[in-house]
């Protein structure tokens, strides 16, 4: 008899978690595009890009990764306080959010749960660079 180690159970996203992943970024994007400087709104966009980017990387979707990387550069600069959002950057963020959300909508809940768990693990391990406001004391 061969004993196989059971696979760990993947905890599927709850409906609330799924809605937060799919709906909240749109609300926060609208606020950021209107000029909101609330860091939580920008962090929501960064989280969406982290999850969509992780799944796109796993699936070798280089076109989406290029879009996300450009948007992440803008988000990182905003979080560091290095710049305010320029009009030319608004369509980049809008496109990245729309494409990220569309990509995640096509993924199964199990794939989403695995990707979110992987991103959370990377953050917990310290493999994510914390973004601090470099101009907070100016």
pLDDT tens digits, the chain, 138 residues: what are they?
565 555 555 566 677 877 777 889 999 999 999 988 789 999 999 999 999 999 999 899 999 999 999 999 999 999 988 888 999 999 999 999 999 999 998 888 888 888 988 888 888 888 766 544 444 444
pLDDT at 76: 92
| Distance separating alpha carbons of residues 90 and 16, to the nearest angstrom | 28
> Do 128 and 49 meet the contact criterion of CB atoms below 8 Å apart?
no
pLDDT at 1: 57
pLDDT at 75: 94
| Distance separating alpha carbons of residues 72 and 75, to the nearest angstrom | 5
Going from N- to C-terminal start, the domains of the chain cover: 15-118
> Do 3 and 33 meet the contact criterion of CB atoms below 8 Å apart?
no
| Distance separating alpha carbons of residues 23 and 17, to the nearest angstrom | 10
In angstroms, how far apart are the furthest CA atoms of the chain? 68
| Distance separating alpha carbons of residues 13 and 23, to the nearest angstrom | 14
Tell me the pLDDT tens digit for each residue of 93-104: 999 999 999 999
pLDDT at 22: 80
pLDDT at 94: 97
């Amino acid at each position: 008899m061969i004993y196989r180690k059971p696979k760990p159970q993947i905890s599927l996203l709850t409906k609330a978690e799924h809605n937060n992943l799919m709906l909240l970024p749109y609300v926060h994007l609208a606020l950021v595009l209107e000029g909101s400087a609330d860091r939580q709104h920008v962090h929501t966009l960064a989280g969406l890009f982290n999850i969509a980017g992780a799944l796109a990387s796993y699936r070798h979707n280089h076109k989406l990764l290029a879009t996300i990387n450009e948007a992440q550069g803008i988000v990182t600069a905003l979080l560091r306080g290095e710049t305010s959002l320029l009009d030319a950057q608004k369509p980049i963020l809008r496109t990245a959010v729309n494409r990220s959300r569309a990509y995640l909508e096509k993924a199964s809940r199990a794939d989403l749960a695995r990707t979110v768990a992987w991103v959370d693990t990377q953050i917990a391990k310290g493999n994510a660079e914390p973004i601090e406001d470099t101009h907070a004391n100016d």
